[in-house]
Copies of this chain bind each other. A is one copy, B any other.
Amino acid sequence: MARRGMMKLGMSMRGLGYHPAAWRHPEVPADGTLRFDHYAHNAQMAERGLFDMIFFADGIGLRERDEPRGSLARSGYELVEMEPLTLLPALAVLTKNIGLVTTASTTYNEPYHVARKFATLDLISGGRAGWNIVTSWSEAEAKNFNREEHLDYDTRYERAAEFVEVVKGLWDCWEPDSLVYDKEGGLFYDERRMHLLNHRGKHFQVRGPLNVAGMPQGRPVLVQAGASEPGREIAAATADVVYAAADSLQAAKTYYDDVKGRMAKHGRDWDDLKIMPGVRTIVAATRAEAQAKFDRLQDLTDPLVGLARVYAALGDLTGFDIDGPVPEPQREAEVRSSTERIMQRARSQNLTIRQLYKQIVGGGFYLIGTASDVVDGLQEWYEAEACDGFNILPPYLPGCCDDFVEFITPELQRRGLFRKAYEGRTLRENLGLKPHVNRHAEERARSAAAE
């Protein structure tokens, strides 16, 4: 069954890749997250591969937990890295077409700052900015922002919803033709087309206007995760892109139909939202070689880092033989819901401790094989309409990004599943999204039509 249109692709570029042992890989620059050339290479490679966008996940703190003792110092993962909203403008200069998307938290930011920064990124990049809207839920982050504990779920989401409304409102303060630059007449802007926001809500009071205007996209692209019930509703109502989880084709299809099905009641078309599950790809000339690449990465996982991944569920297992059977949960174990799930898995598959943590460390939706194998997997999901494309989570960088562009992109193109050149100038255009319409300009047009 052929599906109309082409799939969309994002390259998630956080750190040194998504496998916790990536930093120990011989071809990975362990200091890459502090080197601009590392990021520049990956971004330029993703653009050579015609990716719709690069994406940076982000956190504003180091993981609180360092258990078992010493595991954090061995993890090399999400420890020190460049702040993405400062990094993306620099990458904008070295690229021309690829979208530039980053996470920014609604929990420990102010909407005026976020609106300004993404508006500026949109200007610098000629219309390629995207904002991944998240809330911050970790204690490690709370403790960097004057709190002992993170905000509860309801407060976080309530604040996030209001935060996004304020940012959108700030982006619309200046109508597209508000800046007239009439040197002769001495008029810089048309007062009738500049609008104060005057937002007065529960979490924010923001007068406006924003002191940035003229974004090429009108509004940067809005990205969300949206797995929960309220998250799905918000995504259906407002998101341009959703980074979805990918547990199985059937689950992805169910999620896709559910979220897309909610859009009509918000006055949105099926195509106004792109759903892109995350997938980890490892490709080589043969299946055996690809599997060997994966196994090598798995073998680089430090035992302490592996044990840290089961600490919350099973407690401290450092006293046990890691090549022996998984013991009963230890006293320090905290999270009871995952405990039973993990123990069941260990028992039913008769796993050693090492086998158990390797399953977890190497978990997620992996496609491992030849270019043809990987594209088979992507194509199956795409043609089943379980997604609109994929957010690639490279296990290690730059290798898995380079390999994707060299081997997988051409195969996708050969099968007519992916573009051979960028269609548009902005991220919004490449994603096939409608142009943003300024709310005040729209209202004016409506009033004029009614007269």
A212 to B59 Cα, complex, angstroms:
11
Inter-subunit contact A116/B60 (CB<8 Å): yes
- Which of A88, A183, A194 has the most B CB atoms < 10 Å from its CB? A183
Inter-subunit contact A110/B112 (CB<8 Å): no
* Contact of A80 (CB < 8 Å), options: B93, B183, B214: B214
The 8 nearest A-B residue pairs measured at CB? A76-B188, A143-B207, A30-B181, A89-B90, A86-B120, A93-B93, A186-B302, A83-B120
- Report the stretch among A144-152, A286-294, A407-415 that lies at the interface: A144-152
Inter-subunit contact A86/B121 (CB<8 Å): yes
A208 at the interface (CB under 8 A from B): yes
With a cutoff of 8 Å between Cβ atoms, the chain B residues found around residue A121 in the complex are: 86
Inter-subunit contact A124/B87 (CB<8 Å): yes
Report A181-216 CB contacts with B as 1/0, cut-off 8 Å: 101001111110010000000001111111111100
Inter-subunit contact A183/B124 (CB<8 Å): no
With a cutoff of 8 Å between Cβ atoms, the chain B residues found around residue A242 in the complex are: none
- Report the stretch among A67-75, A385-393, A423-431 that lies at the interface: A67-75
Q: A61-B207, A75-B188, A112-B144 are in contact. List 15 more A-B contacts (CB 8 A).
A: A62-B211, A73-B189, A74-B187, A80-B179, A82-B120, A82-B124, A82-B212, A85-B117, A86-B117, A89-B89, A109-B113, A110-B146, A143-B206, A144-B206, A146-B204
A153 at the interface (CB under 8 A from B): no
A89 to B94 Cα, complex, angstroms:
12
A210 to B36 Cα, complex, angstroms:
18
Inter-subunit contact B93/A211 (CB<8 Å): no
Inter-subunit contact B124/A191 (CB<8 Å): no
A interface residue numbers (CB < 8 A to B):
23-24, 26, 30-31, 34-36, 59-62, 70, 73-76, 78-83, 85-90, 92-94, 108-110, 112-113, 116-117, 119-121, 123-124, 140, 143-148, 174, 179, 181, 183, 186-191, 194, 204-214, 302, 304-305
CB distance from A233 to the nearest CB of B (A): 27
A61 to B124 Cα, complex, angstroms:
20
With a cutoff of 8 Å between Cβ atoms, the chain B residues found around residue A147 in the complex are: 205
CB distance from A121 to the nearest CB of B (A): 6
